[in-house]
Amino acid sequence: MLVRLYADDQLWVVNKPNGLASLPHSGPEPHLVQQLQALEPGFWAVLTPLDRAASGAVLVARTPQAQRALQQAREQGQVQVVFHALVLGNPAWDRRELDTPLRPNVGRRKRTVADPARGRPARTRVRVIERFGSHALVEVVPLTRVRHQVRAHLYAAGHPIAGDPLYGPGPEPGGVAQQLALHARRLRFPHPGRGETMPVTAPYPAWWDAALDALRWEKALTRRDA
């Protein structure tokens, strides 16, 4: 079930679950636009699509006029998506800007790979929010738009996202992340009608809360036994 985080006659922000495609595709699997049409028929244009495996806030225009205004705002850097990711390992840094050029759609699996010679310019800001030893919770802000940019940059930095089957070990039986632990936590954008900056926060999926609780418990036990 889709959760509306904000809604008016010009735009919606919805909390997309893991496993739901953002855009229509050729296969029979459901997608976000299809589910929105089922809720309320009419015009729908997804402005900030997420990877199928990711979750979180997605900005959707309800009119062609809102779509044009929001697209222009995004091209001007006025639409910001802030991700939270649960990554493997304990980064040696608190803040870092990842800027390795990336080349998308490589090989049979269509992965995005670090390629300083042939890759596209890509910049991603990362900040550690919480450390657990085996994992870390990080805030990620992509400053450019390359397919799978966040996943590929974190993988190239040596800290793949937990539960990522394409850029990491994938879900592990009994592990904390049975799905991709990448969540569009916050959106900031100018409202196309009122002009004011709109901040919207997407709650974590329930399994995220359970994973973080387990990691905090594991960290507390490790400290007690040290």
CB neighbour list of residue 4: distance below 8 Å, 6 or more residues apart: 12, 13, 14, 15
pLDDT of 29 > 70? The answer is yes
What is the percentage of the chain residues whose pLDDT exceeds 70?
98
CATH of the domain at 66: 3.30.2350.10
Tokens of residue 120, six digits: 């596209």
Domain containing residue 193: 3-225
pLDDT single digits (tens) 168-221: 888 877 788 989 999 999 999 999 998 899 999 999 999 999 999 999 998 887
Rounded to a whole number of angstroms, the distance between the first and last alpha carbons of the chain is 44
Q: Where are the beta strands (DSSP E) in 48-205?
A: 55-61, 80-88, 95-98, 102-106, 111-114, 124-131, 135-142, 182-190, 197-201
pLDDT single digits (tens) 50-103: 999 999 999 999 999 999 999 999 999 999 999 999 999 999 999 999 999 999
Residue 215 CB neighbours (<10 A): 22
Residue 62 CB neighbours (<10 A): 20
Residue 139's Cβ-side half-sphere holds a number of Cα atoms within 13 Å equal to 12
Stretch 105-122: mean pLDDT, rounded?
95
pLDDT of 224 > 70? The answer is no
* Positions marked catalytic: 51
Tokens of residue 147, six digits: 């397919």
pLDDT of 130 > 90? The answer is yes
Q: In degrees, to the nearest 5, what angle opens at C-alpha 81 toward C-alphas 128 and 58? A: 130
What is the number of domains present in the chain? 1
pLDDT at res. 24: 86
Q: What is the mean pLDDT of the chain?
A: 94
**Alpha-carbon distance 98 to 223, whole Å?**
31
Among 25, 166, 19, residue whose Cα is nearest residue 104 = 166
Least confident segment among 26-30, 43-47, 107-111, 205-209: 26-30
Q: Is 102 exposed, middle or buried (0-12, 13-18, 19+ CB in 10 A)?
A: buried
Among 181, 202, 155, residue whose Cα is nearest residue 48 = 202
pLDDT at res. 225: 61
